Amino acid sequence: MKEIGWPTIDSKHLVVYSKQMLDLENEIFSQGMPQEALMEKVGIQLSKWLLKRKSLLNKGVIVFLGPGHNGGDGAVIAKELFLKGYLVKLWCPFPLKKTLTINYVNYLTSLGVEILGEPPNPEGKDLWIDAIFGNNQNRKVDEELIELFNKKFKKGSGKVVSIDVPTGLCPDSGKPFSKNAVKANYNLVIGLNKIGLLQDAALPYIGELHHIDIGISRSQLCKLESKILKITYQDLKTINLPLLPKNSSKYKRGRTLLIAGSERYPGAAHLVIKGAISSGAGFVAAILPDLVSKLIWQVEPEAVVVGKLSSDPNGNSILFDALKNIDFSNYDSIVIGPGIGLNEDDWEKSTQYLLDFKGLLILDADALNRISKSNLGPKFFLERKYETWITPHDNEFMRLFPEIECTNKVELAINAAKEFDINILLKGANSVIANNENAWQLFGTDSETARAGLGDLLSGFIGGCSAIDLSYFGDNIKTESLAKYVSLHSFAASKCKKGSNASSIGDRLSKLMRKTKTRLMS
């Protein structure tokens, strides 16, 4: 397995499928931990989170208990809150099945906790706790129950907290089993992150996601063969970037070549260049449309124009005439694609130059669309014997790999990376970065930064950052480096006070890179 250095492999970062979590729990039980003890521990940890937020509890609490051990966790929560003096009631929408849960409910009634005989009123101001199925659900649920919760959510007079996984939501895909799932204001995830909760499809249902640590040992975590890691903006504090020797010349501080833009899309070229310059790369070269090459010195004078792109009658860029005059050995990385437009004949003629390039080839946007329409199709990646990264969004990915069908975006990215020996950034609200074994998934990003041009800025930034890493590490560049670049770009976009346009974010990104390296030097 490819070694992972960032972020830390722990319960806060690791992401699992529902069966993996069940297997871990069964292993804990096989080592001697009584089920009663684990249920008590989980319920107390959940209760501690709630008790720190007393404003949620002051109008009373109704705990919805499921028939299994998730219902048992809810029963422990009910007990803890009741003993702290809060008004707590229970409702059991299904007959209880697990002996532990039944016994705990009997104990609660002996304490004086009321069990409701009919569904509660969704217009009340009390807190509803969804402890019905959690990680164990695998089929659709009574839609009337889900509608009851969602009336509460829509009314907004009292909050909804789901335990582990909202009822009706698949823990592996993040999609509802039927038409809908419970919409929670808060989702308390037990033990390890469930992969479905991190998918774009789950965002309307999960609300704020909070991890509840239950003390799973590192030895147990390391047994997971493939690692999927959740990364958030908090992890930027632990990012390490290479600090090059102070006497390095510009040609030894990362050399990247950018091939972008067309008469139809001239702005893409400018944004790619801005992204590369914000990385701090020593030498940023570009092959640009004639219109852009004449003006770029006025806005990005640091970029060196080494070639010009002619155009076809439709305004799409022609690459071949420019590529045949380039000495590719001068560059650590090449970025190609943003805004170049579609021209299938030109791509067929240009393919061999890109196959022969021995550095890191980064393909984005129209380069990917050209590949999907080419004679080789995605077999292009198998023909190429050197490091290749691609950065598609969902539609570009499906055009490239129409036969790959999986449960979620992480599976899509890993399977494509494995089949075609590439590294993939699958862009989205929660972007995925993957190689053939492991994946990193962003979470908690700012949805307001989904703007035109940011992908162009990102591809240039990746080109510049990767060139720096290659000049430092040689050919040994890791997929986690790509995850770092994507995280830095996303964070800069979220914190840009001047607005969410790509140009302003590029300026913010430059400052962030400088700040990060200053921290590493201190």
Distance set, CA 128 to CA 39, 156, 186 (Å): 20, 11, 11
Instruction: Please say which residue of 223, 243, 276 terminates a domain.
Output: 223
What was the pLDDT predicted at 202? 97
Number of domains in the chain: 2
- Is there a single domain that holds both residue 273 and residue 191? no
The tens-digit pLDDT sequence of the chain (522 residues) is 467 899 999 999 999 999 999 999 999 999 999 999 999 999 999 999 999 999 999 999 999 999 999 999 999 999 999 999 999 999 999 999 999 999 999 999 999 999 999 999 999 999 999 999 999 898 889 899 999 999 999 999 899 999 999 999 999 999 999 999 999 999 999 999 999 999 999 999 999 999 999 999 888 888 887 799 999 999 999 999 988 877 777 878 999 999 999 999 999 999 999 999 999 999 999 999 998 888 887 878 889 999 999 999 999 999 999 999 999 999 999 999 999 999 999 999 999 999 999 999 999 999 999 999 999 999 999 999 999 999 999 999 999 999 999 999 999 999 999 999 999 999 999 999 999 999 999 998 876 555 556 899 999 999 999 999 999 888 889 999 999 999 999 999 888 876 667 888 889 999 999 999 888 876
For residue 6, being part of any structural domain is answered with no
Same structural domain, 125 and 262: no
Q: What is the pLDDT of residue 420?
A: 98
As a whole number of angstroms, the distance between CA 444 and CA 447 comes to 9
Q: Tell me, yes or no, whether 272 and 211 share the same domain.
A: no
pTM of the model: 0.94
DSSP character at residue 186: E
Helix (H) or strand (E) holding 352: helix 344-356
| Contact criterion met (CB below 8 Å) for 111 and 82 | yes
- What residue type is 57 in one-letter code? L
- Residue 309 and residue 316: Cα distance in Å, rounded? 9
User: Do residues 501 and 370 share a domain?
Assistant: yes
1 inside domain: no
In a domain, 404, yes or no: yes
Q: pLDDT value at position 495?
A: 85
Whether residues 265 and 406 share a domain: the answer is yes
In a domain, 5, yes or no: no
Of the three residues 169, 201, 223, the one that is the final residue of a domain is 223
141 and 65 in a common domain: yes
Is residue 89 situated within a structural domain? yes
Strands 333-336 and 360-363: parallel
Q: Looking at residue 466, which CATH number applies to its domain? A: 3.40.1190.20
Q: Give Cα 167 to chain centroid, integer Å.
A: 23
Q: Is 365 left (phi over 0), alpha (psi -120 to 50) or beta?
A: left
Phi, psi dihedral angles at 187 (to 5 degrees): -125, 120
pLDDT at 521: 76
Residue 210: name the closest of 180, 230, 224, 236 by CA. 230
Contacts (Cβ under 8 Å, ≥6 apart) of 6: 235, 238, 239, 240, 480, 483, 484
What CATH number is attached to the domain comprising 23? 3.40.50.10260
- Domain check: are 512 and 380 in the same one? yes
Both 179 and 321 in a single domain? no
Domain that holds residue 115: 14-223
Instruction: Please indicate, yes or no, whether residues 207 and 320 belong to a single structural domain of this protein.
Output: no
Two tokens, residue 313: 């009658």
35 touches 29 (CB < 8 A): yes
Output the pLDDT for position 59: 97
